[in-house]
A and B are shown apart, each in its own frame.
Chain A
């Protein structure tokens, strides 16, 4: 993906965006709402024509793929014809792609919808729609999967299932997975690499391990102690940023281990010591702060409401 740019009217949705997704891994595509994630994925899949730039799969643009359904599976939409059953929806795309219609039942089983296949899609819950969309993506047994916010509408159990399923698809079956989300915590345990965007531009690209390493100790830690004032003095003397609030302290930039050691050395009694936000979340927030679509209007224009859809 190179130099992708797209404007909707006066709104610059994506600007000169480029990154590469490594085969056989799960890549998280992260950014706040309105950062241009959906627009980017739709450009990659040929549904939206970019103003500039190219996106290719092994060097071939989506529209030029000889057999798109067997090459790339995509979850972009949770809307279906309400009167058509889930199974019949899948059969339509089996026929269009020249696959045997039995594939419909196979993928329904894979996503756990085997019993609901005969029901009208209009009666499905949002979680079931996500599963049906995933089933559609799996029809052609593709080597690449592109998923736009697949965890939306899933219950905690569903999210747990999705994490395992994506890891299984990538690590056990060797598929390439690109999954977008506006929550780092949602994909943190699933993804191997991250691509973070804000206001349509690339903010950070790298492995999850690198991001974690940079995030060590960047979180905030909550401390409760009867001698909170003395501990605050000690930490201030070390130059540690903190806020004092009654009987508790919020410390930034130190791990729980470091603060625990400091308190122990000084003989300060602790009643509670826990990390309040992970360093990863803190870093993600800093990287994308103020970069949502509505926080960053194009120069000289007011931020239009809902301009991108």
Chain B
């Protein structure tokens, strides 16, 4: 299994997809750090604004932007799985490893592990930008207690989304379909569901609700505990991978 995980890493780092996605994630994290810090404490004509620099709620918000890059880690996982079909390398891959579930398992491990340094780079950008910008505005946040917990939960979200990506890719096999489908789900379906009060009980069990439960330190009514949210997310990833292995990956490679 170690050999197969290393083979997956070789596949990942011998094309340049990872550079683009990592840069994208860093730009996203850095950009939102600047935006939120710039708008912190701004007058919003009585509407809900961003709390001022130095306020713990501002710090929680600005240190959870790393988790917003979860989309890019999701895409990384999806591409990692679906490129085998897109570029027809599934043939040599399954010739080398005829027991195909081992390939899926290796990809789950490889992408879960590689997501850790990726997440640390994204958060380093996040922290660096916030320290400099908020410091310039008079109050650089401390890196302890709640803030550290927020950052750690962002790492968890990013890692789990890479695993979910592999699972979704195994289930759907079609790269464009898997990416578009995931984006539509996360940004359209869940956005609508989260806005409907009546399905609040269901929403907390969905990926979006689970992410919120992990990244928000403050008790939010109607959400799971952070550890429960993490398990729910991981469960979605592994369930998709299991269904994908049973239903899609076993299909004929013609």
Contact = CB atoms under 8 A, between A and B. Distances in A.
A243 to B, nearest CB: 44
Contacts of B16: 83
Interface in A1-53: 8, 39, 42, 45-49
Interface in A76-122: 76-77, 79-85, 88-89, 91-93, 95-98
B98 A49 contact: no
Contact of A69 (B11, B15, B96, B250): B96
B198 interface: no
Interface in B91-119: 91-99
Given A83-B15, A84-B14, A92-B11, A76 B87 contact: no
Question: Which of B16, B89, B99 has the largest number of chain A CB atoms within 10 A?
Answer: B89
Interface stretch (B1-9, B146-154, B200-208, B237-245): B1-9
A81 B254 CA distance: 17
Interface bracket on B: 20 to 34
Interface stretch (A60-68, A186-194, A202-210, A266-274): A60-68
Given A69-B96, A93-B92, A96-B93, A309 B254 contact: yes
A136 interface: yes
Nearest to B6: A95
A74 interface: yes
B98 A308 contact: no
A136 B89 CA distance: 12
B252 interface: yes
A37 to B, nearest CB: 13
Contacts of A46: 94, 98
B196 interface: no
B212 to A, nearest CB: 37
Contacts of B91: 47, 76-77, 79
28 contacts: A8-B254, A42-B252, A47-B91, A47-B252, A48-B254, A49-B250, A49-B252, A62-B98, A63-B98, A69-B95, A69-B96, A76-B91, A77-B91, A79-B88, A79-B89, A79-B91, A81-B87, A83-B16, A84-B11, A85-B14, A91-B14, A92-B10, A93-B92, A95-B3, A96-B7, A97-B3, A136-B92, A308-B254
